[in-house]
């Protein structure tokens, strides 16, 4: 178990770069993604570099441990823009010797054709949005690619990049346990080091939310979804890719270092439309709409919409909520330091949940068990105490 969660100003931080554009909007997606007929690539490159300069001024002298290009569809970015951002980051900060540079990609043949150039730009890890290995499911999910095209892109990615992950969505309407187990077995056969496996959720404001409200979509009920979740954990663990976070599975040493920064509550800077950051006790949020973000960068030299100081309780609570998603759990001594006093943890609730086998406390470490992982969304509100309760 890796229990190294002590944080210091010398520890490498993470950089998130948001590219908001997609060819089309998927019906399940509530991310900050937008469809535009045209994108002024030169203007966007200049604005992203300006936003990056602002964050560099806020975090001088630091070491950068990871960069993550997310979206939207970052594989639509010109490789020249990706290279410019990586080069600028290397100019602003020291780069860790094992810096992880991830780019999210759609598995279309057009985007796969850019993989070699993106690798040449400095990307060393790709996260591929396959989403399903079933053509009917892909059509339901509104994906533009088919299984054949997706697997061809996966093969290209495995040639171009040192590290490859891909996403699948399960718990689809009508999906049986046997069908998902067969799909997962096939996914594991491709030999990638990392899988992100998400249950379909109906997010407010999406087209699927409208369909569900009208009764045209019904996802598996709680018991069926639980069976799928438990099978996912057991199958990936048996294959050597156990869950290290609620929905993420990896071989030992192949965990996403960038995302671990979030879950371990390290510093991270966010640039681009809608990007969030946590740096030096401050919560930052960029303007969400692409045009508004561009205008803000032009006006102010950065795309910030808000920049707020987090209270000690806020920081401790966020660290708890993020850290308990991890298999390793959280160091309550560190949580207490963030809180400036006692950790905001309900000891009676912890004791009750421990009796039920849902959580384990070992000295100053607190973690959710395999049985508890299934009920994480219900467990967290029980454990974490609000500021009002602590007063």
pLDDT tens digits, residue range 284-324? Answer: 999 999 999 999 999 999 999 999 999 999 999 999 999 99
Give the CA count within 13 Å in the CB-facing half-sphere of 149: 16
Q: 363 pLDDT exceeds 80? A: yes
How many distinct helices (H) and strands (E) make up the chain?
17, 15
pLDDT at 386: 73
Q: Coil, strand or helix: which one is 377?
A: helix
Neighbours of 216 (CB within 10 A): 10
Task: Provide the residue ranges of all domains of the chain, joining segments of one domain with +.
Answer: 13-263, 330-390
Cα separation, 99 vs 95, in Å, equals 6
pLDDT at 8: 53
72 prior amide bond cis, ω within 30: yes
164-218 pLDDT, tens digit per residue, is 999 999 999 999 999 999 999 999 999 999 999 999 999 999 999 999 999 999 9
pTM (2 decimals)? 0.94
| Concatenated DSSP letters of 306-325 | EEEEPPHHHHHHHHHHHHTT
Contact 180, 231 (CB under 8 A): yes
Largest CA distance in the chain: 59
Neighbours of 243 (CB within 10 A): 22
Instruction: Give 190's DSSP letter.
Output: T
Q: Coil, strand or helix: which one is 328?
A: coil
| Concatenated DSSP letters of 186-204 | HHHHT--SEEEEEE----T
CATH placement of domain 13-263: 3.20.20.70
| Paired residues of 243 in beta bridges | 249
Inter-helix orientation angle 41-58/290-300, to 10°: 60
């Amino acid at each position: 178990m890796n229990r190294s969660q002590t944080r210091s100003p010398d520890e490498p931080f993470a950089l998130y770069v948001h590219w908001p554009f997609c060819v089309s909007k998927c019906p399940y997606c509530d991310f900050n993604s937008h469809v535009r007929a045209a994108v002024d690539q030169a203007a966007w490159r200049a604005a992203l570099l300006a936003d990056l300069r602002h964050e560099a001024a806020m975090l001088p002298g630091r070491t950068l441990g990871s960069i993550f290009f997310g979206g939207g569809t970052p594989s639509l970015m010109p490789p020249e823009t990706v290279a410019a951002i990586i080069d600028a980051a290397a100019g602003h900060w020291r780069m860790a010797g094992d810096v992880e540079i991830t780019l999210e990609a759609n598995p279309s043949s057009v985007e796969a054709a850019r993989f070699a150039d993106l690798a040449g730009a400095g990307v060393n890890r790709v996260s591929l949005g396959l989403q399903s290995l079933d053509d009917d499911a892909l059509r339901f999910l509104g994906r533009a690619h088919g299984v054949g095209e997706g697997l061809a892109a996966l093969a290209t990615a495995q040639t171009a990049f040192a590290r490859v992950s891909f996403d699948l969505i399960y718990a689809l309407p009508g999906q049986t346990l046997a069908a998902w187990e067969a799909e997962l077995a096939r996914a594991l056969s491709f030999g990638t080091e990392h899988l992100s496996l998400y249950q379909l959720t109906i997010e407010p404001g999406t087209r699927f939310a409208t369909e569900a409200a009208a009764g045209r979509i019904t996802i598996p009920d709680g018991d069926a979804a639980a069976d799928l979740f438990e099978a996912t954990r057991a199958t990936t663990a048996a294959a050597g890719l156990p869950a290290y976070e609620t929905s993420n599975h990896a071989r030992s040493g192949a965990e996403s270092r960038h995302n671990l920064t979030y879950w371990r509550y390290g510093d991270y800077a966010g640039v681009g439309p809608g990007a969030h950051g946590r740096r030096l006790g401050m919560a930052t949020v960029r303007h969400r709409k692409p045009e508004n973000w561009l205008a803000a960068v032009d006006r102010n030299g950065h795309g910030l919409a808000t920049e707020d100081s987090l209270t000690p309780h806020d920081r401790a609570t966020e660290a708890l909520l993020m850290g308990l998603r991890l298999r390793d759990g959280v160091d309550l001594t560190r949580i207490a330091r963030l809180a400036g006093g006692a950790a905001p943890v309900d000891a009676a609730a912890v004791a009750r949940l421990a009796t039920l086998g849902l959580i384990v406390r070992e000295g100053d470490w607190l973690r959710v068990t395999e049985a508890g992982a299934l009920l994480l969304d219900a467990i967290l509100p029980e454990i974490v105490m609000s500021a009002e309760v602590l007063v």
